[in-house]
Structure 1
Amino acid sequence: MTTDLGLLTSAAAKWEGMAGELKKVETRYGETVQKITLGDNWSGVSAGVARTKFTATRYEYSAAQNQAMAIASLLRGAHEQFSGLKAKLESARDDAIAAGMTVSEQGHVAFDYAKLTAAERSAYDHDPDGRSAIRTAVDMWQKHIDDRVKAVIEADVHVKDALEAAVVDSNRDALGKGADETLTGFNNYAEGDLAKAKKHEPADIKTHHDPVTVTGPDIGWSASGIKYGKEGSVKAYADLFHASGSGEVTFDGLKLSGVEEVYGGVRATGNLGATDKGVVAKGEMSAGLRFLQEARIEHGPQAAYGRLEAFAGGEVSGTGKLTQDEVTIGGKVFAGGKLTAAGGVESGGLGVGLTGEGWAGKGAEASFGWRRDEETGAWKVKGKGGLSPIFGGAVGLEITVDPGKIKKTAGEVAHEIGSWFD
């Protein structure tokens, strides 16, 4: 009741003045700094990068103006709303006093016995119905006052939520959708209409962690003969230990996932068969310690991954496959230690990945082929080669083509182009 609500309009005027000053800076920036990238005197990669960055900076100057004007509008809206609610509260207090009540500075309502004559006070004291009527009247006016106070509190919370939401970057022009190059910049789309403003809801963060599993020591073997339509296989293992874990976090359309695995032991497998799908011959044996750590980030059709691996021991393998979904040939032999780093990116169904390995030991490796993933329908073309008399290494390349994602991306692009023409 004692708050100077005029300070809200004074603050709004300051915010509007700030927007005007930002406009001057934006104009000056465009006519001086940004202008450098728009002429013919500068070209090449550096000019392209500068053009993007300078455009993004000017975007922030413009977004800052819109954010400042939105805050000014919210403050003026708050002044209008608070003034109206304050007037209603004052009217409710005056009506309660006119009805024979007192209202304290804290909003507590009581019956005003001071206005009664001695005879009227005595009559009320000795009349049960009269005392009941007073309690009912006091409760009614107390609720009336409380409801008006509650309305002010709710409006105050709404204004607070609206101001907090206005200063959070909506990122509607980020991630390739416009000139916005930062996820925590000014809010170009700040809502200045208090009636339309909504509470800012933080990004919905979901996490999932698979429990870490640890097995071993363990030893065993299995075998199955070649049957109609099925490959024959043999497997033997002596595991000292095997530990693995994985998890993922998703928020605001962004997904982060990771896998870790540690293994020590001896394993040997073999597959041989000729089915209606093709011919397969594969055998491998390894003994030693392995460590793997992989991280992946995805947002819509864009994705990137990184992987680190370490191996100490010996391994030998040979592969030959000729099926409807895969053609692969390769072999390797190695004894010593390896350190592998791999990474790749994917966009709109097309991906490329590179692998680099450092070897300390003797060995050689060569492989090439392509295969189709049965679950996703994506095709992968892979090649790898390496040699080490004592010290050496290997390099590899992987190309991914996902027809489903390409079709989806093409549809979205066609829709966007159609929207431009519309």
Structure 2
Amino acid sequence: MNYHEVMTTDLGLLSTAAGKWDEMAGEFKKVETRYGDTVQKITMGDSWSGVSAGTAHTSFKATRYEYTAAQAEAKAIAGLLREAHEKFTDLKKKLESARDDAVAAGMTVSEQGRVAFDYAKLTPAERSAYHHDPDGQKAISDAVTKWQQHIDDRVKAFDEVDQSVKTALGHASADSNRDAFGKGADESLTGFNAHPETTLAKAGTPDKPEPAKKPDGTTFTGPDAGFSISGTKYGKEGSIKAYADLWHATAQGSTDLGPMHLSGITDVYEGARATGNYGLTDKGFVAKAEVSAGLRALAEGRAEHGNQSVYGRAEGFVGAEAGVNAKATREEATVGAKAFAGAKGTLAAGTETAGIGVGLTAEGWAGPGAEAWWGYKKDDKTGDYKIGGKAGLSPVFGGAVGLEITVNPGKVAKAAGDVADTVGDMAHEVGSWFD
């Protein structure tokens, strides 16, 4: 925000909005109670049993959970808006005090917050003396710079809180999924937030920046080989790794075409690798082993515009691979197995909106093999949570199909923040109609 916006914004609208959010929480409470006493109650008696009753019980329980979560989210937003009003009011008073002090020191402060020396308060003789005195001119310049910095610092402090409030509202309105994946009644990954942070100190902390993308260009490495092994330690799983890389080449580039950002990557690798991870730690359970040898190639293109993007990917593999996986940690829960020898080609395509992507994969196999896996895991490079699965079978010729869903919490929170911003702007505009 700038000086003019700080001085002219009606901060009272924040308190008004907070009251409306409290009223909304109350209305959600009424709906939740009515839903529990009528719809959900149907599944709690002995008159309905069987698979349909069990499905309905889970579904109705999940719906009531969302009504409860909506109350928590609405109350949290109300509290954040009230805290924002308190902080903004205090910071605005400090800015007004800084302006008054500058004026008392012989300065003028424009509506845009620009400081200048008030020559109008000088007599003609004093004004002439200042103009012909280099030391006097320097003293004026130094004073203007000092008071400008003082006012700019107050504006900056206001803007920092403004950014914190934006982040906090985005976090409060994004589903934390703390009760999902079998840990509670939450059956929706994009529902209401049942566990929002209620203070700006916690909710207003910015997200960690997304990992920096590798610069455009080409890299080539190889040949290389190595072997490492480590046993289990407290809080750390054991691992075994052996590799013999013949070569590895990567080329990527990006460009802007009007409002769209286009990017692509090609990656080719030839060699052999064997890895294994095992252990039961405070982070969870891991048992994974994989071995592969052959030639792999990948080409992917992506087009992005705002919060939306589409992608297409093609992959090829010639060689042999086998693996088994069972993992249950805070950032991954997967199970699967695979074995294949021959050649395979993969096509994948999908779309992403506001940090949530959905895609499909299809593979053609020439050679015997079978594969199946299901679960979710976090991609350390992108911060995405990938949810999906794949199944395939090939006596001699066959293939596989798969589903991939990605969720990027940072992008989801940012999109939610943008929506909150838009809603806030609209509320401000509607409020101005009645001023």
Q: Which has the higher contact order (CA 8 A, sep 6+)?
A: 2
In structure 2, distance between residues paired with 1:258 and 1:87? 64
Sequence identity percentage = 58
Partner of 1:178: 184
Matches within 5 A, 1:94-105: 94-105=100-111
| Corresponding residue number in structure 2 for 1:253 | 331
1:76 aligns with 2:86: no
1:145 to 2:222 alignment: no
CA distance in 2, matches of 1:342, 1:56: 30
| Structure 1 residues 91-125: Cα deviation after superposition (integer angstroms, max 9, x where no partner) | 10011001000111111111111110011111112
| 1:293-323 per-position Cα deviation (integer Å, ceiling 9, x unaligned) | 74533458xx9964323344xxxxxxxxxxx
Using a 3 Å threshold, how does the CA distance of structure 1 residues 52 and 122 change in structure 2: closer, same or farther? same
SS at match of 2:201: coil
CA distance in 2, matches of 1:203, 1:50: 41
**Residues paired across the two proteins, number:** 265
Q: Residues 289 and 206 (structure 1 numbering): CA distance in 2 closer, same or farther, change over 3 Å?
A: farther
1:309 aligns with 2:309: no
In the other structure, the counterpart of 2:44 is 38
Matched with 1:132 is 138
User: Do the aligned residues in 2 keep the contact of 1:29 with 1:58 (CA within 8 Å)?
Assistant: yes
The structural deviation recorded for 1:170 is 0.8
**How far off is 1:182 after superposition?**
1.4
Q: Distance in 2 between matches of 1:175 and 1:33?
A: 24
Is the CA contact 2:165–2:204 (under 8 Å) kept in the aligned structure 1? Answer: no
Report the TM-score, using the length of structure 1 for normalisation: 0.55
Shift in alpha-carbon separation, 1:176–1:204, aligned structure 2, 3 A: farther
- Tell me the CA shift for residue 159 of structure 1: 0.4
2:166, 2:204 within 8 Å by CA — same for their partners in 1? no
Match of 2:342 among 263, 285, 292: 263
Q: Could you say if the C-alpha distance between residues 63 and 38 of structure 1 is closer, same or farther in structure 2, counting changes exceeding 3 Å?
A: same
User: Structure 1's 132 and 296: CA in aligned 2 closer, same or farther, altered over 3 A?
Assistant: same
Alignment of 1:320-359 (within 5 A): 339=398
Return the letter of the residue paired with 2:133. D
| Alpha-carbon contact 1:88-1:148 (below 8 Å) kept | yes
Structure-2-length-normalised TM-score: 0.54
The residue type paired with residue 253 of structure 1 is E
1:165-204 matches, cutoff 5 A: 165-199=171-205, 201=207
Query: 1:201–1:12: structure 2 CA closer, same or farther, 3 Å change rule?
Result: same
How far 1:201 sits from its partner (Å)?
3.2
Q: Distance in 1 between matches of 2:269 and 2:134?
A: 76
Among 155, 160, 182, the alignment partner of 1:154 is: 160
Aligned to 2:225: none
Asked if 1:296 is matched to 2:369, the reply is no
Take 1:290 and 1:172, find their aligned partners in 2: how far apart are those partners?
Answer: 43
Distance of aligned partners of 1:129 and 1:46 in 2 relative to their CA distance in 1, 3 Å threshold: same
Distance 2:141 2:80 in 1: 42
Q: 1:340 to 1:144 in 2, by over 3 A?
A: closer
The CA distance in 2 between the partners of 1:44 and 1:198, in whole Å, is: 47
SS of 1:296's equivalent? strand
Q: Cα 1:38–1:113, aligned 2, differ >3 Å: closer, same or farther?
A: same
Aligned residues: CA RMSD = 3.9
Preserved contact between residue 212 and residue 244 of structure 1 (Cα < 8 Å): no
Moved more, 190-199 or 179-188: 190-199
Alpha-carbon offset, residue 202 of structure 1: 7.8
Please say if residues 321 and 341 of structure 2, whose CA atoms lie closer than 8 Å, have aligned partners that are also in contact: no
- Structure 2, unaligned runs of 5 or more: 1-6, 214-247, 249-266, 272-316, 344-364, 378-386, 403-435
CA 1:341 to 1:93, structure 2 compared with 1: closer, same or farther past 3 Å?
Answer: closer
Note the C-alpha offset of 1:206: 12
Shift of residue 205, structure 1, vs aligned partner: 8.7
Partner residue of 1:121? 127
Shift of 1:339: 5.0
